Amino acid sequence: MRVRDALIAGALLLAGRRPPKRPRAREVPPGEPNPRAELLVIALFGLAALSACAFVAVYALDRIPDQTQFLGLSLGLALLFVAAGLIVTAHKLIVTEQLEDEYPPDEHPAEQEAIEHRVVDSGSRITRKRLFGLALGGAAGAIGVAVLAPVASLGPVVDMDPFYATPWRKGRRLVDQNGRPWRASDIEESDFYTAFPEGADRENVASPVVVVRVAARYLDLPPANRGYDAHGVVAYSKICTHAGCAIALYRTPLFQPNEPKPALVCPCHYSTFNPGTGGTVEFGPAGRKLPMLPLEIDANGFLRAAGTFDEPVGPSWWGVRMRGAHQA
């Protein structure tokens, strides 16, 4: 038995022997093995796998404190371990050779000419080239316009009416955020109040107004706004005429002796308006005064609009003063 096995094994060994491979030219030059770097990379990939498992574990847990932080930490570390492994591979385990190559030719004159000739020759059967081109261009242009025309459905492209409309009209009461009407006596000198037209949409830019009480020594309304105040209580559109933010700051002279006048300030670009002089611009980039709302006090002491704004509301546009604000 043993002899037969040995014979078969020997025969196989002899028969299986192939002529030795021709040594081929290497595509990438050889380099020394680096077992320590290899071990490090394997360890880094192992850590990456562990961190990824940790991420799944943290995710699977029910809500725990700082879950977002642990999720970010485990996933971020997993990715960074892979990155570290790859970078060690690049620097220690792979032969990075600086090779040379020719830049491609700057141009191919023969091919350029052939392309040109192909185009020119193809058109030789067309005798009225300009007319042909014009017709083709006209068709393409018209189809382009036709395809783009439905874009006009997006908005009122030419109707500027909505830009001038406001919900304010004579007699409309000023209400607070909860719909409670403001009394003139609620408005105190050192504070500022937001008011809306009773029953109107509050998100409309033409709705919100700021209401302040201006001390008599600062109240000097221009002729156009004479009588817009109700015993020193004035109201202006809350939307800045510069870029449309809400005017959310009120500077009163009470606490700032160095600031001479009360001022309404927009926190976006710090346009500053004087509430005592019809909303004129004191500082900042606004190019138009704040629209002023005329006020009156009814028999029960509630504040009511005595009309609508003296100017269109919101940021300016080309020809903004062409028309005045009007009731919606």
Residues 103-162 that bind other proteins (CB under 8 A): 103-104, 106, 151-152, 154-160, 162
Q: Which stretch binds other proteins (CB under 8 A): 116-124, 132-140, 238-246, 293-301?
A: 238-246
Least Å distance, CB 84 to other proteins, is 8
Query: Looking only at residues 270 through 299 of this chain, which bind other proteins when binding is defined by CB under 8 A?
Result: 270-271, 281, 283-288
Give me the sign of the Cα torsion angle 245, 249, 252, 258. Answer: negative
Please check whether residue 56 is in contact with residue 122, taking contact to mean a CB–CB distance below 8 angstroms.
Answer: no
Please check whether residue 250 is in contact with residue 265, taking contact to mean a CB–CB distance below 8 angstroms.
Answer: yes
DSSP collapsed to 3 states, 65-98 = CCHHHHHHHHHHHHHHHHHHHHHHHHHHHCCCCC
Least Å distance, CB 207 to other proteins, is 7
Widest pairwise Cα distance in the chain: 128
- Which lies closer to other proteins via its Cβ, residue 107 or residue 121? 107
Contact with other proteins (CB under 8 A): which of 212, 242, 252, 264? 242
243 residue type, one letter? A
Q: Which stretch binds other proteins (CB under 8 A): 117-125, 204-212, 215-223, 300-308?
A: 204-212
* DSSP class of 9: H
- Which lies closer to other proteins via its Cβ, residue 1 or residue 148? 148
- Which lies closer to other proteins via its Cβ, residue 15 or residue 157? 157
Pull the structure tokens for residue 125: 């059967």
Location of structure tokens 């004087």: 274
Query: Looking only at residues 45 through 84 of this chain, which bind other proteins when binding is defined by CB under 8 A?
Result: 59, 63, 67-73, 75-80, 82-84
Beta-bridge partners for 251: 263
- Which lies closer to other proteins via its Cβ, residue 82 or residue 232? 82
CA distance 2 to 305: 118
Least Å distance, CB 122 to other proteins, is 26
Query: Looking only at residues 251 through 270 of this chain, which bind other proteins when binding is defined by CB under 8 A?
Result: 266-270
Residue 320 engages other proteins in binding (rule: CB under 8 A):
yes
Please check whether residue 207 is in contact with residue 177, taking contact to mean a CB–CB distance below 8 angstroms.
Answer: no
User: Is 209 in a helix, a strand, or coil?
Assistant: strand
Residue 178 engages other proteins in binding (rule: CB under 8 A):
no
Q: How many residues in the shown chain lie near other proteins by CB under 8 A?
A: 89
Residue 305 engages other proteins in binding (rule: CB under 8 A):
no
